[in-house]
Amino acid sequence: MTGRGRIVVVGVGNSWRGDDGAGPAVAAALRGRLGPGVPGAPVAVVDLDGEAARLVDAWDGADLAVVVDAVRTGAPPGTLHRLDACDVHASATASSHALGVQHAVALARALGRLPRRLVLVGVEGADFGHGTQLSDPVAAAVEPASRLVVGVVAEAAAAAIAGPAPP
């Protein structure tokens, strides 16, 4: 699923818990645009429930991992947040998954299994109750979030083509 030189996009969340389904919804929206077989974008798109060990496995050895997850920060619902991995451990309440993304980042850091670069795209959620519907502002944020992920991947692809700076 992953490996050095690879880019992985992970949609984290439970689509049966309202806005917690934002991550999987973005992953679904990206499947046609990113993924194996799409020229110029050697990207794996996967859904996960946020359980820490599975996340560590998913991004192990990747050059870039983009993790899309619902968050609760108090911002207006539908707000997009972009965090780099180095910011994630400082904001322990960013993810809606108490044993999820930020723990996976910390665990991977302790074990030396972080991807070379990790970007977290947070979608501010409103309603995490039972049900398969996203709230209106979160549903409206799926396309902008998808474009944000495509942009992050494109930046990385461009950097890879340019190659690393000579020592």
Partner 1 sequence: MTHKGTGGRSVRVEALTRVEGEAALHLDIADGRLRDAQLQIYEPPRFFEAFLRGRRYTEPPDITARICGICPVAYQMSACAAIEAACGVTVEGPLADLRRLLYCGEWIESHTLHVHLLHAPDFLGYDSAIAMAADHRAEVQRGLDLKKAGNDLLELIGGRAIHPINVRVGGFYRVPTRRELQEFAPRLERARDLALEVVRWVAGFDVPDLEGGWELASLRQPGEYPITRGRLVSTGGLDIGPDEFTDTLVEEHVERSTALHGTLRGRGPHLTGALARFALNAGELAPGARAAAAEAGLDPSTRNPFRTIVVRAVETLHACEEALAIIERYAEPDAPAVPVEPRAAAGTGWTEAPRGVLWHRYELDGEGTIVDARIVPPTSQNQRAIEQDVVGFVTDHIDGSDEVLAHGAERAIRNHDPCISCATHFLDVRVARS
Nearer to partner 1, 78 or 100 (CB): 100
Distance (Å, rounded) from C-alpha 6 to C-alpha 62?
5
CB of 95 to partner 1, least distance (A): 9
- What's the closest the beta carbon of residue 50 comes to partner 1, in angstroms? 6
The span from the CA of 151 to the CA of 41, in Å, is 12
- The amino acid sitting at 19 is D
- Distance in Å, CB of 30 to partner 1, minimum: 18
Asked if 68 and 124 touch (Cβ cutoff 8 Å), the reply is: no
**Cβ closest to partner 1, residue 17 vs residue 116:** 17
Site for partner 1, rule CB under 8 A: 14-17, 20, 47-54, 56-57, 96-100, 103, 106-107, 110-111, 128, 130
Task: Write the DSSP symbol of residue 137.
Answer: H
For residues 33 and 122, give the distance between their C-alpha atoms in angstroms, rounded to a whole number: 20
CB-wise, 96 or 153, nearer to partner 1? 96
Q: Which residues are bridge partners to 117 per DSSP?
A: 64
> Closer CB to partner 1, residue 126 or residue 157?
126
* Nearest approach, Cβ of residue 85 and partner 1 (Å): 14
**Among 102, 105, 100, 140, CA closest to 123:** 140
